[in-house]
């Protein structure tokens, strides 16, 4: 009896602000094929479909030969930044409806008298409190007033709330009240999408939990529609492969799970590049790496130690998306989900150079994007960009851009720099182009130091992996400034992030809260909690057709020193704890 032939191809598609990249891998031969098209900001799913069909067509691969597709996207981040989330309601414990308005004390610039807190994602008239109260152990102090909940549900329906976030005090310790609130709202308005904090982010800290849940609720309809469009179009083309999405933490999960918990994919796109850098470094024998990804819109920098990217939960998204501890904390909406720790700055190939009112040359954060793009693209853009400057300096070939599919217009780049920057500064074009590049380099060197020196690491001990369409052009200068001894450029730097989509694992993160001192730790209870979390994870993977033999479990615990408010993530052995493990 002949064996059933295996489906040999894997496809990764990464949508960036300027270009959409595709990577196709033949699992039998290891052969890699790549493709790149301009992004379609008005409807990113169109760019996804075009990139997919084009790379399959050019390589004579039928849709039925693809085993699975992994997608990296910033559609969730863009919805938040652009304020295009769904009409969302918020339900919390009575007396705490202003939680989103109050926020936290942290501000990005301590002495900035003009600073304004981000506008709450849910307006106050859609925030409601319901009578109920739990203590920190999850014990009921005030029973849930179901009649009040029903009244709130009626008001939310009248206000046409599409999605509702529910975050009750101490629901991480006892989710019963939250679940009942969700059931009542669903009963009153069956079409309403419900997000419960006890399911999305079951951790202590009511504002952070509420913010995470609100973001999940706000982007769920947006992401669901986007994924439905992609899946429908792919199925119409005969592609029956499993569809996966890159998470912010560097793992992937299914479209179904992403539609339920899209907050876990807010930083989907940049995570893929870091995973790819770690994979490349591992294969070349390097474990300590600084990943540098410079695309058309932004530059992203991340630190990888012993082959493992740094992951944080100290993350926020607002005017821009940013992770880690730095000078900009407090300017966005916090998210308590695992995110690859990176610094992102507005210095991509399409970042616009301009002269401010004081006669000082600036670069970014505004970007020319994919449409119209830099002046040299010949698509109607008139603003000078970093790409234009590199072209004027002879660092880019005008005849072999985008694999030879696109010719760059040197005269248009010179004209843009001349009129917008060189003339106001009374300098020649070449010197002004060099100044634009050096200003961008200075910003990126600062980003490299933020992920290394500021966090106690010496960049000279690391290898620089530079990729993205613009990364290799600037890599040597950055390495020289930080005294990094080795720079690695991938074979196809412009599609490296798409490769990262295909070299990671299916992954799910589960957490809960148990507040206690180590010397009073109930080891039996801790083992029971980890057992429940593990069972939940295995059940999810089983539904996704992953066998127990292919499953691995990583246990971690967030701990803090007494009197402090910052946690350290500590790895734990993957077996039931004993007193010896604690001491």
Count of the separate structural domains present in the chain:
2
State the pLDDT at residue 328. 54
Residue 171 lies in a domain: yes
What CATH number should be reported for the domain holding residue 207? 3.40.50
Tell me which H or E stretch contains 364. Answer: strand 361-367
pLDDT < 50 positions in the chain: 1-5, 319-321, 323-327
State the pLDDT at residue 2. 38
Condensed to tens digits (0 to 9), the pLDDT of residues 103-123 reads 877 777 777 777 777 888 999
Residue 138 lies in a domain: yes
Question: Which domain range does residue 120 map to?
Answer: 85-223
Condensed to tens digits (0 to 9), the pLDDT of residues 158-198 reads 999 999 999 999 999 999 999 999 999 999 999 999 999 99
State the pLDDT at residue 506. 75
| Structural domain ending residue among the three candidates 171, 193, 223 | 223
Q: Which residue is associated with the tokens 């992004």?
A: 39
User: How far is residue 217's CA from residue 167's CA, in Å, rounded to a whole number?
Assistant: 11
Residue 99 lies in a domain: yes
| Structural domain ending residue among the three candidates 223, 253, 286 | 223
Q: Which residue is associated with the tokens 């652009």?
A: 82
Cβ partners under 8 Å of residue 457, min gap 6: 303, 305, 451
Residue 330 lies in a domain: no
State the pLDDT at residue 6. 53
State the pLDDT at residue 192. 93
Residue 541 lies in a domain: yes
Beta strand 66-72 pairing with 351-355: unpaired
| Structural domain ending residue among the three candidates 191, 223, 255 | 223
Q: How many helices (H) and strands (E) does the chain have?
A: 17, 27
State the pLDDT at residue 511. 82
Residue 446 lies in a domain: no
Integer CA distances (angstroms), 135 to 93, 94, 211, 286, 315, in order: 12, 14, 21, 49, 27
State the pLDDT at residue 330. 60
- Beta strands, E only, 66-146: 66-72, 88-93, 127-130, 133-134, 140-142
Cα Rg, the chain, nearest whole Å:
25
Residue 147 lies in a domain: yes
Cβ partners under 8 Å of residue 64, min gap 6: 7, 238, 239, 240
Residue 139 lies in a domain: yes
């Amino acid at each position: 009896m002949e064996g059933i032939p295996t489906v040999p191809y894997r496809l990764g598609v990464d949508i960036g602000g300027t270009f959409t990249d595709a990577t196709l891998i033949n699992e039998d031969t290891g052969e890699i094929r790549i493709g790149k098209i301009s992004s379609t900001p008005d409807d990113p799913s169109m760019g996804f479909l075009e990139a997919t069909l084009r790379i399959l067509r050019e390589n004579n691969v039928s849709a039925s030969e693809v085993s699975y597709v992994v997608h990296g996207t910033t559609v969730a981040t863009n919805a938040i930044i652009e304020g295009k989330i769904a009409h969302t309601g918020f339900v919390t414990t009575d007396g705490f409806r202003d939680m989103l308005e109050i926020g936290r004390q942290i501000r990005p610039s301590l002495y900035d008298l003009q600073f304004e807190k981000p506008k709450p994602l849910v307006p106050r008239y859609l925030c409601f409190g319901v009578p109920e109260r739990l203590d920190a152990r999850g014990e009921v102090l005030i029973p849930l007033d179901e009649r009040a909940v029903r009244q709130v549900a009626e008001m939310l329906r009248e206000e046409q709330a599409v999605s509702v976030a529910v975050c009750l005090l101490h629901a991480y310790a006892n989710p019963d009240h939250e679940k009942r609130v969700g059931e009542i709202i669903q009963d009153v308005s069956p079409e309403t999408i419900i997000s419960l904090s006890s399911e999305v982010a079951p951790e202590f800290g009511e504002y952070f939990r509420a913010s995470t849940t609100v973001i999940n609720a706000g982007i769920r309809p947006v992401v669901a529609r986007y994924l439905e469009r992609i899946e429908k179009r792919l199925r119409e083309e005969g592609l029956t492969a499993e569809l996966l999405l890159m998470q912010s933490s560097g793992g992937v999960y299914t479209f179904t799970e992403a539609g339920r918990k899209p907050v876990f994919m807010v930083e989907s796109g940049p995570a893929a590049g870091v995973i790819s850098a770690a994979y490349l470094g591992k294969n070349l024998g390097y474990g300590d790496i600084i990943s540098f990804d410079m695309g058309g819109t932004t530059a992203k920098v991340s630190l990888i130690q012993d082959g493992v990217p740094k992951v944080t939960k100290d993350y926020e998204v607002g005017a821009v998306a940013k992770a880690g501890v730095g000078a900009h904390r407090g300017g966005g909406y916090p998210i308590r989900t695992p995110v690859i720790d990176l610094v992102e700055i507005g210095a991509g190939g399409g970042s616009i150079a301009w002269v401010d009112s004081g006669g000082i040359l600036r670069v970014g954060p505004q970007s020319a994007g994919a449409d119209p793009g830099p002046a040299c693209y010949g698509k109607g853009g008139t603003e000078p960009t970093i790409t234009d400057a590199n072209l004027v300096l002879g660092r880019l070939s005008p005849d072999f851009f985008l694999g030879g599919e696109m010719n760059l217009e040197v005269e248009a780049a010179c004209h843009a720099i001349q009129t917008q920057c060189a003339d106001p500064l009374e300098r020649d074009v070449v010197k002004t182009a060099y100044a634009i590049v050096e200003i961008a380099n200075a910003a990126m060197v600062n980003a490299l130091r933020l992920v290394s020196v500021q966090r106690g690491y010496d960049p000279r001990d690391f290898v620089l992996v530079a990729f993205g369409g613009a990364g290799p052009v600037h890599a040597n200068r950055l390495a020289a400034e930080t005294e990094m001894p080795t720079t690695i450029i991938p074979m196809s730097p412009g599609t490296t992030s798409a490769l990262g989509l295909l070299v990671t694992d299916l992954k799910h993160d589960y957490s809960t809260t148990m507040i206690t001192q180590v010397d009073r730790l109930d080891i039996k209870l801790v083992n029971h909690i980890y057992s429940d979390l593990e069972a939940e994870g295995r059940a999810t993977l089983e539904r996704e057709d992953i066998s127990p033999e292919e499953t691995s479990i990583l246990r971690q615990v967030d701990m803090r020193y007494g009197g402090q408010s910052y946690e350290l993530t500590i790895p734990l052995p993957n077996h039931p704890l004993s007193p010896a493990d604690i001491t």
